[in-house]
A and B are shown apart, each in its own frame.
Chain A
Amino acid sequence: MELRSVRRIYQGFFLLLFLVLLVANTSGLSGLGINYNTPVRLFLELSPLNGLSTLLATGVLYKGLILSLIVVGFTVFFGRLFCGWFCPFGTLHQLASWLFFSKKRGRDLLARNAYRKLYTLKYYLLFALLLCAVLGLNLAGFFDPIALTYRSLTLAITPILLHQYIPAEFSNGWVFGVLFIGLLLLNLIYPRFWCRVLCPLGALLGTMVVAPLFKIQRDENKCTNCNLCALRCQGGDDPNGVHRVRECHVCLNCTTSCNDDAISYRFLGDLGEGRKLDLDRRKLVLTLSASAFLPLVVRASSGRTRAPSPACIRPPNALPEQDFVRTCIKCGSCMKTCPSNALHPAFAEAGFEGFWTPVMVPRIGWCTQNCNLCSKACPTGAIRRFTIEEKIGRPIRQGSAVIDPGRCLPFAYGRPCIVCEEMCPTSPKAIFFEEVEVEFRGTRKTLKRPRIDLRYCTGCGICENKCPVGSQPAVYVIPSGETRETRDRFLLE
């Protein structure tokens, strides 16, 4: 079999596996939960960019992220095999560019698949991200292709395609859909535009291709300079000239298309000039200085540590906020797995560092008492593992319920209600009521008014979800009082 066909089979297999594991990360399919023997986090854990950036930002390489060493090993020995054979986003880009360029022939295609200085942009982006991570601002998740694909498919694509089976919807999901489709459309400019120009994981892997044991090698004596090898080159790495081994995706289109047997993927090939990272020192200095500014100014403007947003309700047992935003890679895995569709990507409510991190929106879904799936789905430990016994027993609080007497039916409108008390899942119930005699427009009434006993409230949000005052519930959850954060407590305990 041609090596190219082998590569295509691998690509198809890994894309399928990625999709299967994504769909498997849905509690609804099995009712109570996923069998977490299925490695739903696998792809996210395999990305060395996720591993390295969380390591730099937090000082810890969490749990499964050690698996990314496998990818490092492969890359060091064989080149960017990951990009050409494994990466599901890469495969999608290859499919998109095939769609746009399969009919093109000759000079145009050759020009579009040639190496360009623009392709070094991703290295500058990578160094900027890593420097930000060192300075405590973990932005890698925005750009990591695995996290990006996982997030886009979770928040935008499955809600369209699988809505019938997985009825979750996400606030602002359209943003992720538009970005995702937009990135695929970039393939109209150059094939695999993202992979060649933007992907910081590709860049990270490129930096590891120092002395690969295997590489593409052209025999100049046999070569007739027909350029067939460069026609379908995925990496844009000039196999017909000075081969840029760091750019090569090892797609093996070149070896397969050569009619003269002049080009091959060879053990201990000659490294030559193409091994150099084509970076400009001045640009690099400029990039690093500019990007160092970002974490500093974010740190100096984090007013929300003093005035936390009331909408920033985190998943149960999340790390304290400062650590959480450093650790979370915004992959959307917790949002995908949440059985009650409670978790949604944050926009402004969590500040710059918390953009797209998970927040609970109780009006859409509440935190189900008998559930700890988000902590199992999290690849970086931003949501720490916990058992259901701990969740109920300690208890783990996400915040506190607040009653607004200006809107609450028994308080403001003189009518009975008590839906929040009925729904409250704790025993004893955190919401209780007191009976009061009131005079409402000349009629004497006995009303049961809800009150909250914060000793029992976990901030699960079911009261807010079920409150009949729908557009602006009369009982709602604020993050104050959450277990993880000592700075935002307001009760003496």
Chain B
Amino acid sequence: MSKTLDRREFFKRFTQASGIILATTAGSLFFHDRARAETPAKKLRDHRKGISPAERMVVLRGQNIEAMVLKGFDAMGGAGAFIKKGDRVLLKPNMAWDRAPEQGANTNPLVVAAVVKAVLAAGAKEVIVADVPCNDPKKVLVRSGIRDAALKAGAKDVLVPQTGEDVEFDGKVLSTFAVGKEYLEADRIINLPVVKSHSLSGMTCCMKNWYGLLIGRRHELHQNINDSIADLAVAVKPTLTIIDATRILVHNGPTGGAMSDVVTKDTIVFTTDEVAGDAWAADLMGKTARELPYIGLAAARGAGKSDYARILKEEIAVGA
């Protein structure tokens, strides 16, 4: 026969039971979520905020890449027109493929390095080089030659964002997509595309290069490649675009592979308008802007103007 329940024992048990009920209730309420609401997606920053450089395009021809880049910044009104002291700058080359520099599938590491130096000289606090590649990131970083060249030139880091935050693109086909936090944090972004043939879009240069912003299954975008490129061109507002046409991939793009796919052009182009940049690159590839529907789509939506002659101020030959 058990002991009868005295008052003391009653209070003890009552307190314990109440405590458990209170704790579980409080815990449940704390974690309770009626709506399963999603965290709102971020927006990309405007990387032209606080600067107002003149609309301009400059074409440089020569073989001394560092001199060409310096000359290019000069002709655009000085690097200071784009970079403010203390800015965190991100360079977005095409660093997508496990290919050596001479194979022309990635941006020329010498161009990247020269831009790193020029931007640092203009007073940038730090320079980061980032892209989301199509091949194994470890191999791409090394074989493209970009990591070594950029780090040697003084870049803080050359990296491949692995995880990102959801960004709202509000595009025609592109809604939310994960973008590496490096892009969201940078004050200035300079687009460093390379000119290449591309089987589906016809050509890849400035605007198509923004595919490298997107983390995850971006391949579904190929189902409407022209609108998705235009979406990106509208959403991303780069500080400046510097086109690497030192050598271009004319066949078998965007991967290339054989040296016969590559043609040397010894040209670098600075432009504030990437639609104009792509129109210029189309000419270089022997294509018309009409063959590349995304140029018209992006222009129609206000991302730029395809008539590059309008802003092409100078063609400069830079000697060795």
Chain B, 223-238, contact with A by CB distance < 8 Å: what is the 0/1 string? 1110000000000000
Q: A470 contacts the other chain (Cβ, under 8 Å)? A: yes
Across the interface, do A419 and B256 meet the contact criterion of CB distance under 8 Å? no
Q: How far is the CB of A401 from chain B (nearest CB, A)?
A: 15
- Assembly CA distance A28 to B139 (angstroms): 8
Q: Which one of A43-51, A76-84, A259-267, A421-429 is at the interface?
A: A421-429
Across the interface, do A31 and B141 meet the contact criterion of CB distance under 8 Å? yes
Given A370-B98, A429-B255, A466-B219; A418-B200 close (CB under 8 Å): yes
Across the interface, do B98 and A369 meet the contact criterion of CB distance under 8 Å? yes
Q: How far is the CB of A334 from chain B (nearest CB, A)?
A: 16
Q: A468 contacts the other chain (Cβ, under 8 Å)? A: yes
A27 to B, closest residue via Cβ:
B138
- Residues 14 to 61 of chain A near chain B (Cβ within 8 Å): 27-28, 31-32
- Assembly CA distance A415 to B223 (angstroms): 6
Q: How far is the CB of B167 from chain A (nearest CB, A)?
A: 20
From A339, A448, A467, B139 is in contact (CB under 8 Å) with: A339
Given A416-B224, A425-B257; A468-B217 close (CB under 8 Å): yes
- Assembly CA distance A267 to B98 (angstroms): 60
- List, in ascending order, chain A residues with CB within 8 A of B143's CB: 32, 370
B200 to A, closest residue via Cβ:
A418
Q: B176 contacts the other chain (Cβ, under 8 Å)? A: no
A-B contact count (CB 8 A): 82
Across the interface, do A368 and B255 meet the contact criterion of CB distance under 8 Å? no
From B199, B222, B258, A468 is in contact (CB under 8 Å) with: B222
Across the interface, do B138 and A416 meet the contact criterion of CB distance under 8 Å? no
- List, in ascending order, chain A residues with CB within 8 A of B147's CB: 31
Residue among B143, B200, B217, B260 with the highest chain A CB neighbour number at 10 A:
B200
Across the interface, do B134 and A423 meet the contact criterion of CB distance under 8 Å? yes
- Residues 397 to 424 of chain A near chain B (Cβ within 8 Å): 409, 415-419, 421-424
Q: A257 contacts the other chain (Cβ, under 8 Å)? A: no
Q: A433 contacts the other chain (Cβ, under 8 Å)? A: yes
- Assembly CA distance A427 to B98 (angstroms): 14
Across the interface, do A429 and B252 meet the contact criterion of CB distance under 8 Å? yes
Q: How far is the CB of A491 from chain B (nearest CB, A)?
A: 22
Across the interface, do B138 and A422 meet the contact criterion of CB distance under 8 Å? no
Q: B254 contacts the other chain (Cβ, under 8 Å)? A: yes
Across the interface, do A416 and B225 meet the contact criterion of CB distance under 8 Å? yes
- List, in ascending order, chain B residues with CB within 8 A of A415's CB: 223
Q: How far is the CB of A338 from chain B (nearest CB, A)?
A: 10
- List, in ascending order, chain A residues with CB within 8 A of B138's CB: 27-28, 31, 339
- Assembly CA distance A67 to B14 (angstroms): 74
Q: A340 contacts the other chain (Cβ, under 8 Å)? A: yes
From B136, B198, B254, B260, A368 is in contact (CB under 8 Å) with: B136
Q: How far is the CB of A246 from chain B (nearest CB, A)?
A: 48
Across the interface, do A32 and B261 meet the contact criterion of CB distance under 8 Å? no
Residue among A32, A425, A433 with the highest chain B CB neighbour number at 10 A:
A425
Chain A, 334-374, contact with B by CB distance < 8 Å: what is the 0/1 string? 00000110000000000000000000000000001111000
- List, in ascending order, chain A residues with CB within 8 A of B225's CB: 416
- Assembly CA distance A424 to B198 (angstroms): 12
Q: How far is the CB of B293 from chain A (nearest CB, A)?
A: 12
Q: How far is the CB of A11 from chain B (nearest CB, A)?
A: 34
From A417, A424, A425, A428, B222 is in contact (CB under 8 Å) with: A417
Q: B220 contacts the other chain (Cβ, under 8 Å)? A: yes
- List, in ascending order, chain B residues with CB within 8 A of A409's CB: 223
- Assembly CA distance A259 to B136 (angstroms): 61
- Assembly CA distance A462 to B139 (angstroms): 15
- List, in ascending order, chain A residues with CB within 8 A of B17's CB: none
Given A409-B223, A422-B200, A427-B256; A370-B134 close (CB under 8 Å): no
A30 to B, closest residue via Cβ:
B142
B257 to A, closest residue via Cβ:
A427
Q: How far is the CB of B105 from chain A (nearest CB, A)?
A: 10
Given A368-B98, A368-B135, A418-B199; A31-B142 close (CB under 8 Å): yes
Q: How far is the CB of A296 from chain B (nearest CB, A)?
A: 44
A341 to B, closest residue via Cβ:
B136
Across the interface, do B136 and A416 meet the contact criterion of CB distance under 8 Å? no
B256 to A, closest residue via Cβ:
A427
Across the interface, do A423 and B255 meet the contact criterion of CB distance under 8 Å? yes
Q: How far is the CB of B69 from chain A (nearest CB, A)?
A: 26
- List, in ascending order, chain A residues with CB within 8 A of B139's CB: 31-32, 339, 368, 370-371
From B141, B223, B255, B260, A425 is in contact (CB under 8 Å) with: B255
- Assembly CA distance A108 to B93 (angstroms): 69
The 10 closest A-B pairs by CB, nearest first: A427-B257, A31-B142, A427-B258, A419-B219, A415-B223, A468-B219, A418-B200, A32-B142, A468-B220, A427-B252
**Given A422-B200, A462-B135, 12 further pairs, Cβ under 8 A:** A28-B138, A31-B141, A339-B136, A416-B222, A416-B224, A417-B200, A418-B222, A427-B252, A427-B257, A427-B258, A427-B260, A468-B217
Q: List 29 A-B contacts (CB under 8 A).
A: A31-B138, A31-B147, A32-B143, A340-B136, A368-B135, A369-B257, A370-B139, A409-B223, A415-B223, A416-B200, A416-B224, A417-B219, A418-B200, A418-B222, A422-B254, A422-B255, A423-B134, A425-B98, A425-B255, A427-B257, A427-B260, A428-B251, A428-B252, A429-B252, A448-B199, A466-B134, A467-B219, A468-B217, A468-B222
Chain A residues at the B interface, C-beta cutoff of 8 Å: 27-28, 31-32, 339-340, 368-371, 409, 415-419, 421-429, 433, 448, 462, 466-468, 470
